[in-house]
Amino acid sequence: MLVRAARLVPAVALTVFVAWPLATMGAGHLRPGAVGDVLGDPSLRGVILATVRLALASTAAATVVGLLTAWSLDRHVFPGSRWLVAAVSVPFVMPAVVVATGVLAVVPERGTAAVLWAHVVFNAAVVLHVVGPRWRLVPPDQLEAAASLGAGYLARARHVVWPHVRESVLAATALVFVFCMTTYSVPTVLGDAAMRTVETEVFVQAVRLGRTDIAVALSTVQFIVVAAVLVLARRGRTTSMVGAAGRVRTAGRPVVRWAAPLIGWTMTVLVASPLAFVLVRSLRLDGRWTLAGWRALGDGMLLDVGIDVPAVVVRSVVFASLAGTLALSLALLVVRRGRPGVLETVSLAVAGTSAVTLGLGLVLAFDVDPVDWRAATWLIPVVHAVIALPLAVRAVGPAVRAVDGVLLDTAADLGAGPVRAWLRIGVPSLRPAIARAWGLGAAVSLGEFGATSFLARSDSMTIPVAVAALTGRAGPLLQQAGFALSAGVVVALVVGFALVSRSVPR
């Protein structure tokens, strides 16, 4: 009875903090004809088309980089290849604001090129980890048989490799498009004065212009585009062929001997260099090396611009700890040992919801008594946990379903209740997954910017909001302080994930 009651908690959380806000937007603020007005307005229609073009270009670039990286690092083994996989993967767990700040540390000007690069940096790991495992399953004997029959490299790629990886490539491409279409942090930090995307326009229309109906209509159009892409990607899925795993050692093949490491190192530098430049830029001011930006974080100078950095850091760490714990708890309640249930499927669908859209919905839903929660500090970590829930579910779901049911049944036969059986048998085997889920939830909280931009006040500002505020201000010292704050996040997350990885039993 207690377990069944506990399973209602994630259902209530998703209803209150996702379904209700979105329903409030649609029912109370989407007036008839608003979508038609948006599509009929040349300016707003231009924003939508520009966002789609930018997302398509970013998706194409990230897919190419990700596939080259997957070919190099997942199909071949050479000295340092495992370290390169880690280096390419790190940006994805970084706050998007930090990734954008890293690109800003390298490129001379804001604009489309900078946004494209940031999208590649952030999403190449998606392609690598979605396509790579499937690519490793391409049977080497099929490739060798095709080569022995005279098939060239392109012919082998088309007739042997593509049938195995087609489904995963479509899935990765769809995910990358959704991420690029719904990103708010990247164009906010890297976009120039002429750049307008759907996400930034929703914020401008709702917060600065007070045109809530237009903002909701824009969010609706964006949702339709994203849903259409996901449906098309799902319809394009087929049953992929599966073979024996195979990785090629570069020492035995003359061409691969230099091509795989060269491509691997080149793609890694392209993806990982912005994070390194964040550290460099945090130490450079007016052409000289200095710690002035780092000192400004703690000496109270930034109080003059309304940013109390020590309080922001402590608050963000507390929010991240709470969000990680909440996301993990909800995920454990959502996941079932058998086939995924309805609640698990619904929780995964949250990943396709724009954080800006959700933030707008929260502001609209929680603006009257008895649920006037817009200024409530506790709302921010709760929303972060809900946004992180899909990743937490992905982390613990396979592990929960892999728990030996025979041992649980045996414990029950010996008189152990379900809770005690899980504590004694299930939890020890779930420790790696639990650590990953908590870490992902905390990382999402540290980097969440879209919904937080609507909810944060001066006394609830988080690190991403502070970074965007500092790097967007005039003055080299303020910008260097923004880079220093981003660099601190990079170091903290890298060290934190390294410690968690070393402490988790394999």
Summarised one tens digit per residue, pLDDT across range 344-398 is 888 877 877 888 999 999 998 998 778 888 888 999 999 999 999 998 998 888 8
For position 273, what pLDDT does the model report?
93
Cα distances (angstroms) measured from residue 204 to each of 10, 24, 52, 453:
32, 20, 19, 11
Confidence of residue 256 (pLDDT cuts 50, 70, 90): low
Mean predicted confidence (pLDDT) in 408-424: 59
Cβ atoms 184, 336 nearer than 8 A: no
In which residue are the tokens 């710690």 written? 291
For position 424, what pLDDT does the model report?
60
What count of other Cβ atoms lies within 10 Å of the Cβ of residue 413?
Answer: 8
* For the chain, percent of residues with pLDDT exceeding 70: 86
Residue 207 has pLDDT above 50, yes or no: yes
Residue 338 has pLDDT above 80, yes or no: no
- Would you state the torsion angle of the CA atoms of residues 249, 251, 255, 261, taken in this order, to the nearest 10 degrees? 70
217 or 418: whose pLDDT is higher? Answer: 217
What count of other Cβ atoms lies within 10 Å of the Cβ of residue 387?
Answer: 26
Which range, of 154-158, 296-300, 330-334, 473-477, averages the lowest pLDDT? 154-158
Quick: pLDDT tens for 425-470: 666 667 788 888 898 899 899 989 989 989 888 888 999 999 999 9
For position 348, what pLDDT does the model report?
77
Both structure tokens of 469: 């505020």
Domain topology for 1-30+308-460: MetI-like fold (1.10.3720)
Mean predicted confidence (pLDDT) in 420-424: 61
pTM: 0.85
For position 242, what pLDDT does the model report?
46
Please tell me the distance from the alpha carbon of residue 225 to that of residue 231, in angstroms, as a whole number.
10
Which range, of 268-272, 321-325, 418-422, 437-441, averages the lowest pLDDT? 418-422
Please tell me the distance from the alpha carbon of residue 172 to that of residue 180, in angstroms, as a whole number.
12
63 or 147: whose pLDDT is higher? Answer: 63
127 or 133: whose pLDDT is higher? Answer: 127
Please tell me the distance from the alpha carbon of residue 377 to that of residue 314, in angstroms, as a whole number.
14
Quick: pLDDT tens for 270-294: 999 999 999 999 998 888 999 999 9
Q: Is 196 helix (H, G, I), strand (E, B) or coil?
A: coil
What type of residue is 54?
L
In which residue are the tokens 């909280």 written? 445
Return the CATH architecture of domain 32-281: Orthogonal Bundle (1.10)
Residue 187 has pLDDT above 80, yes or no: yes
Which range, of 55-64, 104-113, 437-446, 494-503, averages the lowest pLDDT? 494-503
Domain positions in the chain = 1-30+308-460, 32-281
Domains 1-30+308-460 and 32-281 share a fold: yes
Mean predicted confidence (pLDDT) in 204-221: 90
Confidence of residue 243 (pLDDT cuts 50, 70, 90): very low
What type of residue is 417?
G
For position 64, what pLDDT does the model report?
95
For position 245, what pLDDT does the model report?
46
Mean predicted confidence (pLDDT) in 19-28: 88
For position 404, what pLDDT does the model report?
55
- Give phi and psi for 459, each to the nearest 5: -95, 5
Confidence of residue 506 (pLDDT cuts 50, 70, 90): very low
Please tell me the distance from the alpha carbon of residue 86 to that of residue 21, in angstroms, as a whole number.
37
Helices 427-447 and 463-471 pack at an angle, to 10 degrees, of 30
Please tell me the distance from the alpha carbon of residue 506 to that of residue 499, in angstroms, as a whole number.
14
Confidence of residue 165 (pLDDT cuts 50, 70, 90): confident
Residue 167 has pLDDT above 90, yes or no: no
- Give phi and psi for 376, each to the nearest 5: -75, 125
Residue 24 has pLDDT above 70, yes or no: yes
